[in-house]
Structures are given as structure tokens and as C-alpha cells.
């Protein structure tokens, strides 16, 4: 394989640029030509494709977001859209593709592979909700961004003896809430994977006050409900002086951490190795601190992401 391409798709995540850089540098090291596709699958179909050099990826490892840009393109779910994409790849003489993104990105990669065009997926999402890997590119940076905010919010929560409900991202997964809840010393963590009782939430806050606690931090995953809805329901059980902070898209930005840069670099280089071997339809991941390969079909149909719920129990035991 002498000519490959790389694209980023779906929501941006810190470390995507580091992954693109690794694909380009590793590809060039292996004697390949590497092309970048702007705006994900939309750019693929439109032919927004350019050759990348070492200089193009210089100084990109420390930048958040994605310099290849990203876009939603539901039309790629149709065979017509997929064939248009392959037509563009053939036009540029590209023989393999690296896709960086989430499950939607993987579906596109699977479709291309089924059409005989090899694609390799790299998990890039702050939600950390892709099966087949313990950690996704961008997750570590996101939780450190959230943690910085939690530490600051605790200061004002203590000053005013208040309960703060901090809504974090994660789509339908509770990973961000779990990790930042434990690391931030939150009194309670509310995630989609565990049922909760608002009476218990209110009682825990009240017991803390009776023990002299000056604040209560609740980390709420957006997949459960909005922070404002949670505050309204909590208010039905008494006045807990609750305030809501929705961190929003600040969680997606920022310079990637060392862990995300290394993870992205390792994943990107591995993707090139797989394409060099003529393989496709695979996603790269990290399982038990070792690089793993999983079929797109397994990730999208047979496997299910499950957060580390031992962290949930740990927080209950040490936040009392």
C-alpha cells in the first residue's frame, strides 16, 4: 500500500491532531504518501482532499480540536454516499483510510471495508464510550478540564454553604462523571448506568450538613437529565441552596494531556501498520494497557461499552 488517507469525523476531541500527525509521520516513514480529508465524510464525498507533508503536521501535537475539521454527514449511511466517497478515493489513487472518531465514524469505515476499500478506526471521543478500548483519544484531557472546574466550584460552594450540581458531557455514558467525581471528591455521582433515588440524594446532603459539611458537590452525567431538571426535582425535597453549572463544550477544547498525545501517537502508528499489512475493517484500542484490534462488526453490534462501576462504589464509600 503506497497511498493512504486520514480523516476526523463526529465530535472533535483533544488528541485528534496528534493522531493525524502520527499517521502522517509513520506513513512517510514507511515510504507512503499520506492525504488528509477535510470535514470528515462530507469532505470525502466532495473531494476535499490534499496531500500532507511533515511540515503540515508540525506543531500540531499540542493543539486541541482537529486541523482537518469535522462535520456530520448522515448521507454517508446510504450506499450512494459511500460509492461517491470511494469514487473520490480512487480518483486520488488512495488505497486505504484511517478514520478517527466515534461509532458513527466506525460505521462509515465498516461500509467502506465491505465495499472492498480497507479502513482502520481510531477511537476519538471525550465520551469514552467506544467498545473495544479502555480509553479513547480525548477522554483524559476532558476529565482534567472538568476537574479543574470542579476544584474552583468547590471554593465558592464552601464560601456560600451551597450544593452545586455540575452537569458534564458524555452522551449516554457516565465515564466523565465517574472519573471526575472520584478525582474531585464529589459527594455524589449520578450516571445513566446506575439508578438513583432523589430522596437518598436529599438525605445525603442533609446528613452532610448535620456533620458540619460546608458544601455538597454532585456530578451529573448529561445522559441522565439536564442539570436544571435535576435541581428542580431536588427542590421538591427541600431547599438545599442548589446551584447548577453546565460545563458544556469547554470540555472538548484545550491542549491534549501527555497521556492523550501518547495514546493518539501509538494508535496512529498502529493504524498505518495495519494498512501496510493489507488489513481493514479493524479498530485500534487499548485493553489492559496493551494495544488491541477489534472488528468493526463486533464493536458496533456484539460489544457494549461499560464504564468502570467499581469507581461508583468507591466514591460511595469514601465520600461519606
How far is the CA of 292 from the CAs of 27, 52, 134, 317, in angstroms?
A: 20, 27, 10, 33
CB 319 within 8 A of CB 187: yes
Each as own residue / partner, the long-range contacts of residues 91-96 (CB below 8 Å, 24 or more positions apart, any chain) are 91/47, 92/3, 92/5, 92/35, 92/47, 92/49, 93/3, 94/3, 94/4, 94/5, 94/35, 94/49, 95/1, 95/2, 95/3, 95/4, 95/275, 96/1, 96/4, 96/5, 96/120, 96/275, 96/280
- At residue 283's C-alpha, the angle toward residues 293 and 6, to 5°, is 135
Helix (H, G, I), strand (E, B) or coil at 320: coil
CB 6 within 8 A of CB 120: no
Q: Strand 188-190 relative to strand 216-221: parallel, antiparallel, unpaired?
A: parallel
Catalytic residue among 12, 48, 103, 127: 127
Q: Is 127 a catalytic residue?
A: yes
- At residue 265's C-alpha, the angle toward residues 130 and 311, to 5°, is 40
Cell of 226: 439536564
Q: Strand 49-52 relative to strand 33-37: parallel, antiparallel, unpaired?
A: antiparallel
Q: Which candidate, 222, 226, 107, places its Cα nearest to that of 172? A: 222
Instruction: Match 460509492 to its residue by C-alpha cell.
Output: 83
Cell of 83: 460509492
Hey, which residues are catalytic here?
127
Amino acid at each position: 500500500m503506497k497511498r493512504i488517507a486520514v480523516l476526523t469525523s463526529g465530535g472533535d476531541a483533544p488528541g485528534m491532531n496528534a493522531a493525524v500527525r502520527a499517521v502522517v509521520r509513520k506513513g512517510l516513514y514507511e515510504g507512503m504518501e499520506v492525504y488528509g480529508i477535510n470535514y470528515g465524510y462530507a469532505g470525502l464525498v466532495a473531494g476535499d482532499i490534499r496531500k500532507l507533508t511533515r511540515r503540515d503536521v508540525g506543531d500540531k501535537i499540542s493543539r486541541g480540536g482537529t486541523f482537518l475539521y469535522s462535520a456530520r454527514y448522515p448521507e454517508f449511511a446510504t450506499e450512494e454516499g459511500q460509492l461517491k466517497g470511494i469514487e473520490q478515493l480512487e480518483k486520488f489513487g488512495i488505497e486505504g483510510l484511517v478514520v478517527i472518531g466515534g461509532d458513527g465514524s466506525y460505521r462509515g469505515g465498516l461500509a467502506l471495508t465491505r465495499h472492498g476499500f480497507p479502513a482502520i478506526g481510531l477511537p476519538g471521543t471525550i465520551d469514552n464510550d467506544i467498545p473495544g478500548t479502555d480509553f479513547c483519544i480525548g477522554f483524559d484531557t476532558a476529565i482534567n478540564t472538568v476537574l479543574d472546574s470542579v476544584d474552583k466550584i468547590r471554593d465558592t460552594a464552601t464560601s456560600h454553604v451551597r450544593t452545586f450540581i455540575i452537569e458534564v458531557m458524555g452522551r449516554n455514558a457516565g465515564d466523565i462523571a465517574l472519573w471526575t467525581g472520584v478525582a474531585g471528591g464529589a459527594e455524589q455521582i449520578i450516571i445513566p448506568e446506575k439508578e438513583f433515588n432523589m430522596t437518598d440524594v436529599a438525605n445525603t446532603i442533609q446528613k452532610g450538613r448535620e456533620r458540619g459539611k460546608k458544601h455538597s458537590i454532585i456530578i451529573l452525567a448529561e445522559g441522565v437529565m439536564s442539570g436544571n431538571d435535576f435541581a428542580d426535582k431536588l427542590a421538591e425535597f427541600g431547599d438545599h441552596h442548589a446551584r447548577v453549572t453546565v460545563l458544556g463544550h469547554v470540555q472538548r477544547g484545550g491542549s491534549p494531556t501527555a497521556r492523550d498525545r501518547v495514546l493518539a501517537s501509538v494508535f496512529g502508528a498502529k493504524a498505518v501498520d495495519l494498512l501496510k499489512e493489507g488489513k481493514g475493517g479493524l479498530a485500534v484500542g487499548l485493553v489492559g494497557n496493551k494495544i488491541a484490534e477489534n472488528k468493526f462488526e463486533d464493536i458496533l453490534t456484539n460489544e457494549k461499552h461499560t464504564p468502570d462501576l467499581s469507581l461508583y462504589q468507591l466514591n460511595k464509600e469514601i465520600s461519606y
